[in-house]
Structure 1
Amino acid sequence: MEPLSLADQFLIAMPNMADPLFAHALVYVCEHGEHGAMGVIVNKPSGIALAQLFEQIGLSISDEQAGLPVYFGGPVHPDRGFVLHTPVGSWQSSLLVTDDVALTTSKDVLTAVSKGEGPDTLLVSLGYAGWESGQLEEEISQNAWLTVPARPEIIFGHAPEERYDAAVALLGFDPSLLSGEVGHA
């Protein structure tokens, strides 16, 4: 039996999440396999605007995109940029999550955005969330996360503060009913 992959799934932090970096977090899982998992937190703006980031790397940006937020993608490599985008395109260093969504780490995608030739829709983050082999599965078994198949329209079509509840709604119940307590038979 092939192990279950959580790639292209949302991880929804349970209310009892002890780690403040992940409290009320919605993580889009980009890769999950025998070596571990990695994803990007998609609902926590960092307080940095895209214009500030582009200025730091010597690129210009359209007024339309200048005010877009840069997200806190997670605590791993918070000094590196990660661009979650659709369509996938053909960038130098991309991880294809689905046929429609990719995560790119090379500067060429940002250069293209600067020229108005980048992906139609994107989310730029600093850092990512990562788990060693078996770590994410253990956290899920301890009731730290719920999982649900991801929908790109939640990432790219909802305001950051709406994404968590929109992902919970995919599960079919009211988010206020979530409890951090684990039941025992």
Structure 2
Amino acid sequence: MSFDRIRTSEDRNDKDMSLEGQMLIAMPSMGDPRFERSVIYVCAHSANGAMGIRVNRQSRRVKFPELLVQLEVIGVEETIRLPPPAVDVQVLRGGPVDRGRGFVLHSPDFFTPSSSLAISDDIALTATVDILRAIAKGEGPKKSVLALGYAGWAEGQLEVEIQKNGWLTCPADEAIIFDSSHETKYERALKKIGVDLSMLSVQMGRA
């Protein structure tokens, strides 16, 4: 796994304008079924576009130990000896773009300068197989999720979608990003900004 350089200091938006390190919450009126009830952590946002990882939709087909075997990080016989943190790593459907590509969102206690991207003081992104090897050995980050695929927006696209009431924005929450209660993350994210889903649905229905 690897990822191209997502952004540089020169092409990032002004901090007051960038949504990097925040979360997007899909509105009930979201017209794209791929993003229905999605909560997305924004990993990069600049004048050139945006990239994020959906954090509330678990993969039903792939388990982390199986992925380690598939990528030849460990052998089949080693799966029973994986440390508990590795067994418990959540595999998410990160978005519709490049779904064969893996991205690990994690706490910053694991960081490789050449391949890790610090998104905030609490969250980093790594997309090389080295982090998988570290997790398999029990030497990885304290908190992590692996996402297959990502959500991407071209220049100005995300801003237009927000203006058209496709998304709400929300401060990042480590619990929403890392815990396994995926079925409650959408409502919890809305609650974090004081929005009641039932009232929001009614208001949108009257629009």
In the other structure, the counterpart of 2:38 is 25
8 Å Cα contact 2:107/2:123 also seen in 1: yes
1:58 matched to 2:75? The reply is no
| Residue 182 to residue 97, structure 1, CA distance change in 2 (3 Å) | farther
Distance across 2 between alignment mates of 1:97 and 1:67:
23
Structure 1 unaligned regions, length at least 5: none
Please point out which of 3, 18, 38 is paired with 2:51: 38
Shift of 1:182: 9.2
- The runs of at least 4 aligned residues of structure 1 exceeding 4 Å deviation read none
Identity among equivalent positions (%) equals 45
Q: Is the 8 A contact 2:40 2:53 kept in 1?
A: yes
Match of 1:82 among 103, 120, 136: 103
Paired AA for residue 95 in structure 2: G
Counterpart in 2 of 1:11? 24
Q: Counterparts of 1:92-103 in structure 2 under 5 Å?
A: 92-103=114-125
What are the within-5 Å matches in structure 2 for residues 1-185 of structure 1?
2=14, 4-47=17-60, 48-60=62-74, 62=82, 64=84, 65-66=86-87, 68-91=89-112, 92-157=114-179, 159-179=181-201, 181=204
Whole-angstrom distance in 2 between the partners of 1:63 and 1:120: 12
Instruction: Give the direction of change, closer, same or farther, for the CA distance of 1:4–1:182 in structure 2 (3 Å limit).
Output: farther
Describe the shift of the 1:155–1:162 C-alpha distance in structure 2 as closer, same or farther (beyond 3 A).
same
Instruction: Give, in whole Å, the separation in 2 of the partners of 1:54 and 1:45.
Output: 17
Contact 1:143-1:182 at 8 Å conserved across structures: no
Deviation at 1:16, TM superposition (A): 1.7
Deviations 1:118-177 (A, max 9, x none): 000101010110101100000001111000111112212351111111110111132222
Bigger strand fraction: 1
Aligned length in residues: 184
Q: CA deviation at 1:181?
A: 3.4
Q: Which runs of 5+ in 2 are unaligned?
A: 1-12
Partner secondary structure for residue 124 of structure 1: strand
In angstroms, what is the RMSD of aligned CA positions?
A: 2.1
SS of 1:123's equivalent in the other structure is strand
